[in-house]
Amino acid sequence: MARDRIGVATWALGLGMTTGLVVSAVTRPPAALSTIQFTLLLALASGLVLAGLLWTRWEQWLVFGGWLGIAVYFSTLFVGSVVLGGVPGLAVADGPARTVVQLLGSTVAFAITVWVCFYGGAQVILDRVASRLDLDI
């Protein structure tokens, strides 16, 4: 599949909305924003980042294909956001500090997800797991 503007925009929109929904499910919105505004802001910001990544790293994204790419992206982002943002956020008193901790954790989860999906992290993980379990893949 060749890289084109419509394909990149469609993938960026879909992955951006996925990111906005996952992160806003784990993170409390700041007091100045409603939940919908917060979700759309996250979707827009991540969509712009993802559009740039999809445009420059299109071949790496195609390694996964359509549905597998979505599954890897979603599962990595969801587990990372819960583990790095949601759980530590529970240890902080309710208020702006909790929102900051959850956003920082979700930002790190997003960075890990980008590494897995666009910079060969999935292959590195697969190679490590296969060598530890003595699998021939």
User: Is it the case that residue 110 has pLDDT exceeding 90?
Assistant: yes
Per residue in 22-66, pLDDT (tens digit) is 999 999 999 899 999 999 999 999 999 999 999 999 988 888 777
Any domain includes 136: no
**Range of 102's domain?**
5-131
Rounded to a whole number of angstroms, the distance between the first and last alpha carbons of the chain is 25
Any domain includes 61: yes
* Confidence at residue 137, expressed as pLDDT on a 0 to 100 scale: 66
What percentage of the chain reaches a pLDDT higher than 90? Answer: 68
* Confidence at residue 68, expressed as pLDDT on a 0 to 100 scale: 87
Answer for the pair 70, 113: CB distance below 8 angstroms, yes or no.
no
Our count of domains for the chain comes to 1
Whole-model pTM: value is: 0.90
In Å, how far are 56, 124, 125, 126 from 134, measured between CA atoms?
35, 15, 14, 12
Any domain includes 137: no
Largest CA distance in the chain: 53
